Amino acid sequence: MRGAQIVDFKKEQLLSDVYRISGAGCRSFFVIDKNVYGLYIDLFSELEDGEYYIYDSDEENKNIYNVMPIYDALLKGGYQRSDVLVAIGGGIVGDISGFAASTYMRGIRLIHVPTTLLAMIDSSIGSIDRDFFDILEQSSKLNPTEQRREVAKQISLAQSLKRAVVDGDLLDKGARRALNFGHTIGHALESLSFGTDLIKGHGSAVAIGMCEMMRLSHSEKLSSLADLERLERVVSSFSLPTSIDISNQELFETMRKDKKRAAGLNHLVICPEIGTYEILSLDDRELQKFLNG
Ligand SMILES: NC(=O)c1ccc[n+]([C@@H]2O[C@H](COP(=O)([O-])OP(=O)(O)OC[C@H]3O[C@@H](n4cnc5c(N)ncnc54)[C@H](O)[C@@H]3O)[C@@H](O)[C@H]2O)c1
């Protein structure tokens, strides 16, 4: 993918905003979430057949086979390297489109039009920036209506935090790893609960992952009980779970398949103090010991 962009757009001007951002002379191909398409069908009435693909956002459909129809449509429509793929939907459409854009013709530009809260803020809500945590903590003391309004305001702050971290570490070798806080355990829990209703969504899995990492690092005396309790309070105040009943052995086996594992090591982000991070690089024996507390 070349030059990923996250855009602010007005719903009514969606297509014209996208065309403006794409630039003159460039064509745009749209991958649109099925439910979003159904809800906002009028917004897409100008699109011709062959200019868009409707994606059924189900976790089971998030695989390479469902990228093929996008390549087919791009090839059939004669889309070139200078053209743009536009992803309109949640995290699933974003991930699938990101993969398609980064591989079609060795990479074309991508515009994300995120339509779910998770897609808008991505994993940046899981970043451990102290100011952002403080804001979330304050928000949790508001009533639900005020809370929703306040959290909505924080979306752009979360985006800019993530952008700053990612732009400063394009190769994911340094500070960007902090964004993975809670994700190694979170992803393992998502795999383990696939097809069940044990965990409701990525946010819940990462919430448990963050709390579990704080619990484990606290039991290793790498972080304080006060910070663990503070994190659990904030997570619970957003009606997110803080724990789950899964055996350490199952967790260990699944974490060994983590996509960020390299050279036999899992790189876990711990939070020694809210607002700080450290990476623990653990081999299998160390990981098992760490999980057993
Ligand atoms: N690439 C990353 O960094 C990253 C980070 C976090 C999560 N993810 C991935 O994101 C996915 C989850 O994304 P998600 O939570 O955005 O959900 P999603 O894309 O699965 O969408 C959830 C549901 O909401 C519907 N939907 C989307 N927008 C809507 C709207 N505006 N109105 C009504 N319905 C709408 C979809 O059709 C779907 O049924 C997971 O596959 C996860 O792995 C990726």
Q: Which residues pair with 270 in a beta bridge?
A: 278
Q: What is the pTM of this model?
A: 0.71
- How far apart are the C-alpha atoms of 180 and 268, rounded to whole Å? 8
Rounded to the nearest angstrom, the distance between the alpha carbon of 24 and the centre of ligand 1 is 30
**Average of per-residue pLDDT values in the chain:** 87
Average pLDDT over residues 168-183: 84
**Whole-number Å distance between alpha carbons of 116 and 226:** 33
- Structural domains in the chain, CATH included, are 4-115 (3.40.50.1970), 121-291 (1.20.1090.10)
Task: Give the residue from 146, 124, 250, 266 showing the smallest Cα distance to 191.
Answer: 250
Ligand 1 atom having least distance to the Cα of 33: 37
6 forms beta bridges with: 112
| Ligand 1 atom index nearest CA of 187 | 43
Query: Pocket around ligand 1: residues whose beta carbon is below 6 Å from it?
Result: 33-36, 39, 57, 59, 62, 89-93, 95, 115-116, 118-119, 122-123, 201-202
- The pLDDT score that the predictor gives to residue 158 is 78
As beta bridge partners, residue 52 has 30
The pLDDT score that the predictor gives to residue 46 is 92
Give 136-155 pLDDT, tens digit per residue.
777 777 787 887 777 777 77
Of 9-18, 207-216, 256-265, minimum mean pLDDT range: 9-18
pLDDT tens digits, one per residue of 100-109: 999 999 999 9
Output the six-digit token pair for 114: 């995120």
The pLDDT tens digits for 209-256 are 999 999 999 999 999 999 999 999 999 988 899 999 999 999 999 999
The separation between the first and the last C-alpha atoms of the chain, rounded to the nearest angstrom, is: 41
**Banded pLDDT at 126 (limits 50, 70, 90):** very low
Q: What pLDDT does 119 receive?
A: 84
Q: What is the pLDDT of residues 275-285, one digit of tens each?
A: 889 999 999 99
In this prediction, residue 118 has a pLDDT band, given cuts at 50, 70 and 90, of confident
- pLDDT class of 4 with cuts at 50, 70, 90: very low
The CA 95 to ligand 1 mean position distance, Å, reads 9
Model confidence at 194, pLDDT cuts 50, 70, 90, reads: confident
Contact 51, 86 (CB under 8 A): no
> How many distinct helices (H) and strands (E) make up the chain?
12, 7
State how far the Cα of 62 lies from the Cα of 65, in Å rounded to an integer: 8
- DSSP letter (8 states) at residue 241: -
Per DSSP bridges, beta strands 28-33 and 52-55 are parallel
